[in-house]
Amino acid sequence: MKKNQYVHADLHTRNIAYTKTDKKYIKLENTKVRTHGYIYSAIDYGKVIHPKFKGLTEWDLNKLNNELCDINSVMNTLLPGRNLGIWDLIKHGKFVNHKKVNDKIRKSKEYKILNNIYKFNNDNDRDILLFKGIYPKLYLKLSGVKKMKPHYKKRMVSVNDYIFIWENMTNLKKIIDYFVEKSN
């Protein structure tokens, strides 16, 4: 999709389907990947966008012009809590002002610890993405979520794997190779 300038603007766990396969391996970014008996595919193309589409919003244009938008979507999906309970706030009519939350995060002592290690550049929200992955409960608290529900607590990847993805988010091949190696 990406090489033809299309972007799936709604990629999350509920928009990924799988089917059983007898294939042992597939090629992904020129890497031989074990299937473990399943082939995965993105579904629900209702939010696919392309530069030639009319009526694109500023958000759509940002996604089209951002090489990292797909990996950002995946990383947010990997966060403990599958959207971290933010949807519970929205469901109850409480708007989350992300700019205010991000400002609170950047003033926290936990953020300062991460900043000392990673030397953040605050011109984008990569720092916030890492913070959410390492401190999900604090992120929820600063967002106004009172209590993390039990089904939100499970991590889909370890903190170390999350950091690896974050550090290499511009190198999809390296991320794929990393997880292929771990699965062998």
- 39 near 63, Cβ under 8 Å? no
* Interatomic CA distance for residues 175 and 28, integer angstroms: 11
When comparing pLDDT for 15 and 94, which is higher? Answer: 15
* Interatomic CA distance for residues 27 and 39, integer angstroms: 11
61, 62, 165 from 66: Cα distances, Å: 8, 6, 17
Residue 101's nearest CA partner among 152, 148, 138, 63 is: 138
Strand pairing report for 38-42 and 48-49: unpaired
Q: Each residue of 124-142: b (16+ CB within 10 Å) or e?
A: eebbbbbbbbbbbbbbbeb
Report, in angstroms and rounded to the nearest whole number, the Rg of the chain calculated over CA atoms. Answer: 18
Per-residue pLDDT tens over the stretch 92-106: 556 667 788 889 999
Per-residue pLDDT tens over the stretch 17-48: 888 999 998 887 788 888 888 888 878 777 78
Mean pLDDT of 65-90: 61
pTM: 0.68
Domain boundaries, the chain: 1-66, 67-184
Residue 17: CB atoms within 10 Å: 11
Mean pLDDT of 3-10: 72
